[in-house]
Amino acid sequence: MDDSTPASVQNGMDVDTPPSVTSTPAVFSLDSETFKKIHPTEYHRRFLSQGVRPDGRTLSRFRKAKITVGAITTAHGSAMARLGETTVVCGIKAEITEPKTGAPRDGFIVPNFDLPPLCSPQFKPGPPSELSQSISEYINRVLESSKLLNLSDLCIEEGRAVWVLYADIVCLNYEGNAMDAAMLALVAALKHVRLPTATFYEADNAVRVKEQRTIPLKLSRTPISVTFGVFDGQFILADPDIEEEPHLSSQLTVIIEQNGGLCGMLKPGGSALGQETLTSCLEAARTRATHILGILEGALAER
Amino acid sequence: MTQRTRPDKRHSPNEMRPFYCSSALLSRADGSVRFKSGDSAVMCSVFGPMEVKLRDEKLDKAVVEVIFKTAAGMTTTKERMYERIIRQTLEASILSGLHPRTSIRVTLQVLTDDGGILSTALNAATLALVDAGIPLRSLAASVTCMIDDTGELLLDPTAIELERSASVHTFAFDNVSEGTLANMSTGLFTVDEYMRCYETCRLAAVSVQQLFRTSSEGKVRREYG
């Protein structure tokens, strides 16, 4: 990325030599690293206007996704998802609790997404950031409203004991697009969950749990999150990474399931997005979801 | 289409609840508005452009802070998500480059929640920014709609109607650009249903924009005669 502005600055050491001797005029130029630091948005704009992104991807190309299930042996279900270098692990811990009186057969699922200081210098220790809280909340809404899990499947004894699934989703390495990675890790972990047989004994008012974990969860669908970034309101970038995120004018997340049905759409502000753009994003999301589902099936079959 | 009366006695599924606003209610705030949409009401105050905390300072533009408070109870992740959506929507409308190294604080207090609170809050925030005289690029108007379990589209649902929802869609549109500024949809829906909701909300947002206009005209008349 050269800036071809001729420099009018004369080097102080060259005072002895007459200017006529230097045949090539001094040209002010910046190497790409410096240019990126000084004009980060312009740096990206020049790449995108050529139809390519700084990391070599085309605009519509997603990063490589990788899923590993069963990474945490002590958890009832676990998975690790990677999108490029973004790494997220999800561990699901099942505990026994009393149900709410209003819904005596319903268990609970509590997703919690965390972006610890470990994963990127942009996150500081202390209470969870706005980003991680809103991702937690949105994931929770998607789980609830898409009826992914029949909560009465988590019943052990009506009105006395139910399972509560604590889904802790932790980002280990943040390279952008936390939402997709978090959702992917969560769904993979939920598919990996094996609950032990639990029986409620009225006599001593306690639940006994068998050693073996055998019962899988019945998931009604497999929602896949696909995020797009919008740059300058015109370039649609699939799966934006950490370098692109601060320069995006807007982001769009599509939660789509295997048959093309939608479980959620999230566009948290930013520049306006027209109907045609939405349609093309939905189309791209569907293709991506099919691809991700293949990887997910593969990862689950490998076990 | 069935001519069923809705719980709050509206006749059509495409009818919005009556909404109105009253502005300049708080003397300390630079701008304040109470926005009511049926039985959902939000009070919004705007302070700024004012001094910014050194840590948050941006050299080239104003920092927009949004605080969302529920009617009762603790601030949960739900409010933090609303804060993020509202902040990023307002950031797109505010000409923040005109007030570098300052802060614009928008505080939203829910008074009553009867469904569509995100829309109500966003509309309140836009009007309060106008009341505070913050330079804006455009006005963001928000509308919520839902698809019920029979597949019927209901515009601006109340809390009772939301209990039967298959999917809920909140959209924000401004008055200058083609397209949506913000959108949050949850539930199970098809692409066709989504596009139907998009179109319905886009048309309904025009009537909210009209209220913005009437309200701003009233303000100008009051202040400049």
Q: Does the beta carbon of A140 lie under 8 angstroms from any beta carbon of chain B?
A: yes
**What's the number of CA atoms in the CB half-sphere (13 Å) around residue B220?**
7
A220 CB neighbour count, 10 Å cutoff: 12
Q: What's residue B2's pLDDT?
A: 52
Give the span between the Cα atoms of A50 and A58, in whole angstroms.
10
Q: Does the beta carbon of A130 lie under 8 angstroms from any beta carbon of chain B?
A: yes
CA dist A68 → A89, A211, A295 (Å): 9, 24, 10
Q: What's residue A11's pLDDT?
A: 43
CA dist B2 → B52, B79, B154, B169, B194 (Å): 54, 36, 12, 22, 21
Cβ-contact B107, B45 below 8 angstroms = yes
The position carrying tokens 């319905």 is B200
**Mean local confidence (pLDDT), B190-199:** 96
CB contact under 8 A, A261 and B187: no
CB contact under 8 A, A261 and B168: no
CB contact under 8 A, A131 and B88: no
Number of H helices, E strands in chain B: 4, 9
CB contact under 8 A, A269 and B86: yes
Cβ-contact A265, B184 below 8 angstroms = yes
CA dist A198 → A40, A108, A153 (Å): 56, 16, 12
Give the span between the Cα atoms of B129 and B53, in whole angstroms.
21
- Closest by Cα among B32, B104, B121, B31 to B64: B104
Q: How confident is the model at residue B16 (pLDDT cuts 50, 70, 90)?
A: very high
d(CA B15, nearest CA chain A) in Å: 23
Give the span between the Cα atoms of A254 and A260, in whole angstroms.
11
State the amino acid at position A153 in one-letter form. D
Q: What is the DSSP letter of B76?
A: -
Cβ-contact A180, A227 below 8 angstroms = yes
Cβ-contact B66, B108 below 8 angstroms = yes
Q: Diameter of chain A by CA atoms? A: 104
CB contact under 8 A, A262 and B185: yes
Report all structural domains of chain A as residue ranges with CATH numbers, in order of start.
61-301 (3.30.230.70)
Q: Does the beta carbon of A259 lie under 8 angstroms from any beta carbon of chain B?
A: no
- Could you tell me how far CA B101 lies from the centroid of its own chain? 26
Q: What's residue B3's pLDDT?
A: 57
Q: Does the beta carbon of A272 lie under 8 angstroms from any beta carbon of chain B?
A: yes
Give the span between the Cα atoms of B67 and B27, in whole angstroms.
19
d(CA B11, nearest CA chain A) in Å: 27
Task: Tell me if the pTM is above 0.95.
Answer: no
Residue of A nearest to B137 (CA): A271
Q: Which residues from chain A sit within 8 angstroms of residue B177, using beta carbons? A: 271-272
d(CA A288, nearest CA chain B) in Å: 16
Residue of A nearest to B178 (CA): A274
Q: What is the DSSP letter of B216?
A: H
CB contact under 8 A, A137 and B185: no
Q: Does the beta carbon of A68 lie under 8 angstroms from any beta carbon of chain B?
A: no
Q: Which residues from chain B sit within 8 angstroms of residue A269, using beta carbons? A: 84-92, 172, 181-182
- Could you tell me how far CA A95 lies from the centroid of its own chain? 26
Give the span between the Cα atoms of A8 and A133, in whole angstroms.
52
Q: What is the ipTM of this complex?
A: 0.93
Residue B202 inside a domain? The answer is yes
Residues with Cβ within 8 Å of B187's Cβ and at least 6 positions away in sequence, in order, are A145, A146, A263, A264, B146, B147, B165, B166, B167, B168
Q: Does the beta carbon of A273 lie under 8 angstroms from any beta carbon of chain B?
A: yes
Task: Tell me which residue range forms the domain holding B23.
Answer: 19-224
Cβ-contact A165, A107 below 8 angstroms = yes
Residue B14 inside a domain? The answer is no
CB contact under 8 A, A273 and B179: yes
Residue B81 inside a domain? The answer is yes
CA dist A300 → A78, A79, A201, A218, B161 (Å): 11, 10, 35, 15, 40
Name the average pLDDT for chain B.
93
CA dist A302 → A72, A75, A140, A182, A185 (Å): 16, 18, 28, 21, 16
- In total, how many domains does chain B have? 1
Q: How confident is the model at residue B222 (pLDDT cuts 50, 70, 90)?
A: confident
Residue B48 inside a domain? The answer is yes
Q: Which residues from chain A sit within 8 angstroms of residue B195, using beta carbons? A: 275, 278-279
**Mean local confidence (pLDDT), B20-46:** 94
Angle (nearest 5°) at CA B219 between B218 and B223: 120
Q: What is the DSSP letter of B150?
A: T
Q: Which CATH number belongs to the domain containing residue B127 in this structure?
A: 3.30.230.70
Q: What's residue A10's pLDDT?
A: 42
Q: Does the beta carbon of A145 lie under 8 angstroms from any beta carbon of chain B?
A: yes
Q: Which residues from chain B sit within 8 angstroms of residue A144, using beta carbons? A: 186
Selected for mutation to probe chain A from B77, B144, B164, B196 (highest A CB count within 10 Å) is B77
Residue B6 inside a domain? The answer is no
Residue B214 inside a domain? The answer is yes
Residue B138 inside a domain? The answer is yes
Q: Does the beta carbon of B86 lie under 8 angstroms from any beta carbon of chain A?
A: yes
Per-residue pLDDT of chain A in tens (303 residues, 90 and over written 9)? 444 444 444 444 444 444 555 556 677 788 888 999 999 999 999 999 999 999 999 999 999 999 999 989 999 999 999 999 999 999 999 999 999 999 999 999 999 999 999 999 999 999 999 999 999 999 999 999 999 999 999 999 999 999 999 999 999 999 999 999 999 999 999 999 999 999 999 888 889 998 888 899 999 999 999 999 999 988 999 999 999 999 999 999 999 998 889 999 999 989 999 999 999 999 999 999 999 999 999 999 987
> E strands, chain B, where?
19-23, 31-37, 40-50, 63-69, 103-112, 140-148, 153-155, 165-174, 180-189
Q: Which residues from chain A sit within 8 angstroms of residue B89, using beta carbons? A: 268-270
Residue B13 inside a domain? The answer is no
